[in-house]
Chains A and B, each alone.
Chain A
């Protein structure tokens, strides 16, 4: 990852980055990405109703994702210093929390001065997608991602997971996933899986985004990136749905059907991770 072309050690410093600039960029990313979710009813309810340990797990997972994205996008010319990308991640988290708190209060979803534990739960939940948006704001807003063109395979898989989260997060909390899965049935679900795989393969191999070309022809690309990417997207979908209580009290086939439905946007996000991130 340090192999960017402009990472010469003797390079003069242009200027010190300003905290205002990075905070503003994080705020913009948080708003662009999470505002639709702030205005979604399920988000207001889930913050209160999901079991605390699942919310805590989701917070931890989000922090890991934010740190990973900050590391991927936020490395300066001095290389990948841990404290640099950790500080970036911290800025993203703070600004996301601020944006979520202001938005939820302004929309009247929470009233912090009468029910602070409830308000804190809702704001914490809403801040999570905002933090993801804030952490990739750097590339999203064209501020100059420093990502190199080719990554190690493990990083590539993590990047696919991040892409899956980015595209699935906006629809994951909604009731629509449950309804779509109920109407689909097993046969249509199978068709959906095949279509998702074809779409992914189109994105990954045929369209050929930078860094995702794999030597050895379409079959190798299919096995190495498409199927693995789909598995990652399905796992991300299942994790989100479980967190939001969509797996509670349903048998495995229903849980799978719901995951397959959410995996449609998730797999597309995984395949196009380099495009959406």
Chain B
């Protein structure tokens, strides 16, 4: 495993110019990455999760209707177990409700899912909101 002396002969004489170039690129890469992390940590990721949910569409489902949603986290921290709820009201009274839990929404990312309703959500007033989350 530790290699024989004979195998080692293939690499005499040090390093070729190409290797120095790629090696220097590695240094640039690492420094660039550290700079990015510094910027991301200090500028971009300020504060806790900032969650917003939008309805992306309504489509028929085998048993009723499916309301697609997309949760976005524009904040600086991951939100876990994000509760998304939907409420359908007609003429002031709630006719249907649905909830879903999103595992996690990382900063700057979005997750999609669907809420399932028995009643047609296009008829009446549909309210979809994020009810709560857990910090990691």
With a CB–CB cut-off of 8 A, which chain B residues contact A89? 23, 26
Which residues of chain B (66-121) have a CB below 8 Å from chain A? Answer: 78, 104, 106-109
Contact B108 A91 (CB under 8 A): no
Q: Mark A4-33, 1 if CB is under 8 A from B, else 0.
A: 111000011111111110110000000000
Given contact pairs A14-B10, A48-B78, A52-B38, A91 touches B3 in the complex (Cβ within 8 A): no
Contact A59 B12 (CB under 8 A): no
Contact B26 A90 (CB under 8 A): yes
With a CB–CB cut-off of 8 A, which chain B residues contact A51? 41
Interface size on B, residues (CB 8 A): 43
Q: Mark A63-101, 1 if CB is under 8 A from B, else 0.
A: 100000000000011100101101111111110010000
Given contact pairs A56-B38, A142-B7, A145-B3, A88 touches B12 in the complex (Cβ within 8 A): no
A53 on the interface (CB 8 Å rule)?
A: yes
Interface size on A, residues (CB 8 A): 61
A112 on the interface (CB 8 Å rule)?
A: no
Whole-angstrom distance between the alpha carbons of A102 and B22 in the complex?
18
Contact B33 A59 (CB under 8 A): yes
Whole-angstrom distance between the alpha carbons of A130 and B5 in the complex?
27
Contact B3 A144 (CB under 8 A): yes
B34 on the interface (CB 8 Å rule)?
A: yes
A227 on the interface (CB 8 Å rule)?
A: no
Which residues of chain B (7-35) have a CB below 8 Å from chain A? Answer: 7-16, 18-27, 29-30, 33-34
Which residues of chain B (50-75) have a CB below 8 Å from chain A? Answer: none
Q: In the complex, what's the smallest C-beta–C-beta distance from B135 to chain A, in angstroms?
A: 9
Whole-angstrom distance between the alpha carbons of A245 and B25 in the complex?
31
Contact A56 B41 (CB under 8 A): yes
Contact B104 A90 (CB under 8 A): no
Whole-angstrom distance between the alpha carbons of A274 and B1 in the complex?
8
A105 on the interface (CB 8 Å rule)?
A: no
Which residues of chain A (101-129) have a CB below 8 Å from chain B? Answer: 115, 117-118, 120-121, 124
Contact partner of B34 (CB less than 8 A), chosen from A13, A59, A147, is A59
Contact B41 A6 (CB under 8 A): no
A155 on the interface (CB 8 Å rule)?
A: no
Q: In the complex, what's the smallest C-beta–C-beta distance from A25 to chain B, in angstroms?
A: 10
With a CB–CB cut-off of 8 A, which chain A residues contact B12? 11-15, 76-78
9 A–B pairs (Cβ distance < 8 Å), ordered by A: A60-B34, A91-B19, A94-B25, A115-B108, A118-B106, A121-B40, A139-B2, A144-B7, A248-B136
Interface residues of B (CB under 8 A from A): 1-5, 7-16, 18-27, 29-30, 33-34, 36-38, 40-41, 44-45, 78, 104, 106-109, 136
Interface residues of A (CB under 8 A from B): 4-6, 11-20, 22-23, 45, 48-49, 51-53, 55-56, 59-60, 63, 76-78, 81, 83-84, 86-94, 97, 115, 117-118, 120-121, 124, 139, 142-147, 149, 210, 245, 248, 274-275
**4 further interface pairs, Cβ-Cβ under 8 Å (given A48-B108, A144-B10, A145-B8):** A19-B16, A118-B106, A124-B36, A248-B136
